[in-house]
Amino acid sequence: MSGVGAWAHADTGCRLANPHSASLALGFGGFSRTKLKSTSESGGNPLRERMKFPKEIRTNCPWCHKHTVHSVALYKRGKERAGSWGARRQAGRKRGYGGQKFPELIRTAKTTKKATLRLKCKECNREVMRDGIRLRKAEIAA
């Protein structure tokens, strides 16, 4: 090795000035892949199968203008109205000879959905929606 203080990583051969930054240079963000816990039963990507969110988190409230405790809930879509303008328009297009206006979706491209979190401020009781990550099952920790 040439140079004072130079250090080469044994696996990759890349030279680093600091031996403790080896995991950062490998792109693992400080912890190795072998330490991550798998929660998958099907053998897929263990990080996208199931994730537990805490009941309460401390985050910024845009109305209080400070960090407060928020209660966490999963967003669930409401029931669609049968008489809404979009439903009436689609029914009108399907009427008569010709059938379905747009091709019906047979095979979906995505196997997961993005979990949206509802954060309710404990001080002002206002709610903020926050997009989650793409995963199969999102749970609120008990």
pLDDT digits (tens, 9 = 90+) for 44-89: 566 567 888 999 999 999 999 999 999 999 999 999 999 999 999 9
CB 8 within 8 A of CB 14: yes
Which helix or strand (DSSP H or E) is residue 132 part of? strand 127-135
CB 82 within 8 A of CB 129: no
Average pLDDT for residues 26-37, to the nearest whole number?
38
- Hey, what's the torsion of the CAs at 129, 119, 142, 135, to 10 degrees? 20
Residue 141 pLDDT > 50 = yes
Question: H helices within 5-118, ranges in order?
Answer: 22-25, 85-94
The model's pTM is 0.56
| Residue type, position 53, single letter | F
Position with higher pLDDT, 107 vs 117: 117
Which domains, ranges and CATH numbers included, belong to the chain?
A: 1-36 (no CATH), 41-77+111-142 (3.10.450.80)
